[in-house]
Amino acid sequence: VTGALHEDGLADTADGFGGGTGSARKLEIMRDSRIGTFGALALVLSLAARWSAIAAMAEPGRVAAALIGAGALARGGLGVPVLLARPARADGLGARLGTPSRPLALLGMGLSVAITVFVLPPVLAGGSALAALATGLAMSWLARRQIGGYTGDVLGATAVACECAVLGLLSANGVGR
């Protein structure tokens, strides 16, 4: 269904950031379609984190609400690096997508929060939105520090990281208990 596009971005980002020295080498590693040790470990840990969070939620209706909210906020979290950083390379997917206008990016982020408020209790929706925002800020900072900006892979990694953070927060706060 999803094509695992965001997971591919996570694996490529982990391989590049973990295995390269210097921005150019990290970007080169991220372009390599093979999965390395850092990428494999990131995939295993992210899948385990999401699976554990989902398993901790007992009721199917609440699991569905958590998955909808986490999915929406994961997409909204993509707006943070796009707003705060620049594309790391001129020829990559991140650059080809272009930088949306600030109002359009904020609208997308706001819609992700609105969807979450619709499916989760307001306090949990607000906490989840803050978790996604904090994760997006951290990924933006890390990408600027590691490669000078964002790539399509970094955006995918940001989505997975936001989803992990939101699901972890929701499972820790008793969704489904």
pLDDT exceeds 80 at position 16: yes
pLDDT at 176: 47
Q: For residue 177, what pLDDT band results from cuts at 50, 70 and 90?
A: very low
Is residue 25, in this structure, part of any structural domain at all? yes
Do 57 and 63 touch, CB atoms closer than 8 A?
A: yes
The values of phi and psi at residue 150, to 5°, are: -110, 160
Domain coverage including residue 57: 5-172
pLDDT at 147: 96
Is residue 33, in this structure, part of any structural domain at all? yes
User: pLDDT, tens digit, for every residue of 102-140?
Assistant: 888 889 999 999 999 999 999 999 999 999 999 999 999
pLDDT at 93: 66
Number of domains in the chain: 1
Q: How far is CA 2 from CA 6, 7, 71, 156, in A?
A: 9, 10, 12, 12
Please state, for a pLDDT cut of 70, what percent of the chain lies above it: 92
User: pLDDT, tens digit, for every residue of 18-33?
Assistant: 998 999 999 999 999 8
pLDDT exceeds 80 at position 63: yes
| More reliable by pLDDT, 161 or 175 | 161
Q: How far is CA 14 from the centre of its chain?
A: 13
Is residue 177, in this structure, part of any structural domain at all? no
Q: For residue 164, what pLDDT band results from cuts at 50, 70 and 90?
A: very high
pLDDT exceeds 70 at position 171: yes
pTM of the model: 0.91
What does pLDDT average to over the chain?
Answer: 90
Is residue 29, in this structure, part of any structural domain at all? yes
Write the DSSP string, the chain. Answer: --TTHHHHHHHHHHHHHHH-SSHHHHHHHHH--S--HHHHHHHHHHHHHHHHHHHT---HHHHHHHHHHHHHHHHHHTHHHHHHS-BSSTTSHHHHH-PPPHHHHHHHHHHHHHHHHHHS-HHHHHHHHHHHHHHHHHHHHHHHHHHSSB-HHHHHHHHHHHHHHHHHHHHHTTTT-
User: pLDDT, tens digit, for every residue of 107-117?
Assistant: 999 999 999 99
